[in-house]
Amino acid sequence: SPPLQPFSPRSRYQPGNAANMFTYSGPRRVKVAGLWDEQMLYAAAHQDLLKDVHLLVGTPEHLARVATSGNLRLHQLQALVIDEADVCLPMEATSQLMRRLEEACGAFAVPRPQLLLAGASISASHVEQAARRGWVQAPLLVSPTRVESCAAALLCRPDGELEQRVPSGAAHEYAVCERPEELLGTLCRLLRLLFTALPEGEAAARPTPRVVVFAPSADAAVDTASRLQAALWSDIDGDATAGLWGLSVLLPSAEDTLTSRSVGEGEDATFAVLESSLRVMEMFRANQTSVLVTTAAATRGLDFPQVTHVINLGIVGSAADYVHRAGRVGRIGQRERGAVLSLLLPAEVPQLLQLGDELHFSPTPTAAPEPPPLAQLAAEGEGGGASFIAPSGDEESIAAEEVAKALEDIYSLYEGEGDDDGMAPPPGLP
């Protein structure tokens, strides 16, 4: 895990704030420790990290290692929670940890702790795997609406699988782009509408947008953020080379040291700074950034307050992936209804509709914001007919701004694409 950069902004999302998930009225003075890297393992072995700890959070690998070293008194455990169980259960580290737990409980003649398998995409095979290994007995299924025997829940399903659903309350929409190269321009216009296009009174009455964008790969995430930065920073008086227009990139393997990648050449280059992953998450959690661009590998465990929109660039690979992405909105304590928007190619629409049938939601089509018809305006201007911009008054000013903004978008979003990928601006742009 990369070291946390010296950054600790004062956040309005503090424990006890009714507007977030940290509202808490239970036991106080609970000591919590974490095990996720070599530094924490060293602290557990030599610096009393685990002394008087009530709650320990860690990865299966690091928990198994500290248990094997004898620095964790497993026989004193009262409860063990395996979060994201569909991912953790097949791990050899989880099996090793459970073996050590059984040995410790047997040696001290104490009962094993209660085991809880948690996650939004647990299947019947995962429950059966845990039962077959003796980790659970007569398991109960606990959902937001009921508590029942897992066996009874499976009997109610013709396919014998535990039912998956997307979180309730969120809107699910999709917009169709005819060509792949239109996706980025559409995303840019959507973000501009979210942050700058509403009238002043209406904008003040709604919550500040907080957006998570899922790109198909790490390289695509960095490239998308860089081009969006160049296109959007001037809209809110930002600095194109510092701060990414309130936009940051979260990659699963973020660098230990800060690095940068550039888009463009020479003095016109803009930079996407890849921060430490912990700092990126802290900045977005504290509302220091408003747009987080990440990848499918980071769909699990991103627990940020008040996320209003999730935007998928392209089709989501599986039902489990969609459930976890949609779960970034509508977190505990969130008062506003969130939205999940997928930007798709025409061939991908049937796949989304199939996901809707499987997860019990109905995606609705929405019109993507269209770019100004610059090609038509330019042709009319060159032919001596209509003016390139509106003839007079406020209409002239508005049209000029639209034309200038569209031309800036072409430069920022599509520069260099033709040489590398054969990409060109979308239809309607010169």
Rounded (5°) CA angle 191-196-200: 145
Query: Taking residues 185-203, what's their average pLDDT?
Result: 74
Distance CA 296, CA 218 (A): 9
Q: Could you tell me if residue 87 is left (phi over 0), alpha (psi between -120 and 50 degrees) or otherwise beta?
A: alpha
What share of the chain has pLDDT > 90, as a percent?
28
Q: Please check the confidence at residue 207 and state whether its pLDDT lies above 80.
A: no
pLDDT tens digits for 269-318?
444 445 577 788 888 888 888 899 998 877 787 788 888 999 999 998 88
Distance CA 10, CA 13 (A): 9
Rounded (5°) CA angle 352-354-360: 95
Distance CA 184, CA 221 (A): 11
Query: Taking residues 147-159, what's their average pLDDT?
Result: 57
Contacts 24+ apart (CB under 8 A), 279-286: 279/4, 279/5, 279/7, 280/248, 280/249, 280/250, 280/254, 281/250, 282/4, 282/7, 282/8, 282/9, 283/7, 283/9, 283/248, 284/210, 284/248, 284/250, 285/11, 285/13, 286/9, 286/10, 286/11, 286/13
Q: Give the range with max mean pLDDT: 19-23, 159-163, 171-175.
A: 171-175
Query: Taking residues 95-121, what's their average pLDDT?
Result: 92
Distance CA 131, CA 137 (A): 6
Of the two residues 63 and 299, the one the predictor is more confident about is 63
Rounded (5°) CA angle 18-203-19: 5
Query: Taking residues 195-223, what's their average pLDDT?
Result: 76
pLDDT tens digits for 359-418?
989 999 999 887 766 544 444 444 443 333 344 444 445 456 666 666 666 656 666 554
pLDDT of 407 reads: 63
Q: How confident is the model at residue 232 (pLDDT cuts 50, 70, 90)?
A: confident
Amino acid at 12: R
Of the two residues 149 and 37, the one the predictor is more confident about is 37
pLDDT of 144 reads: 64
pLDDT of 96 reads: 95
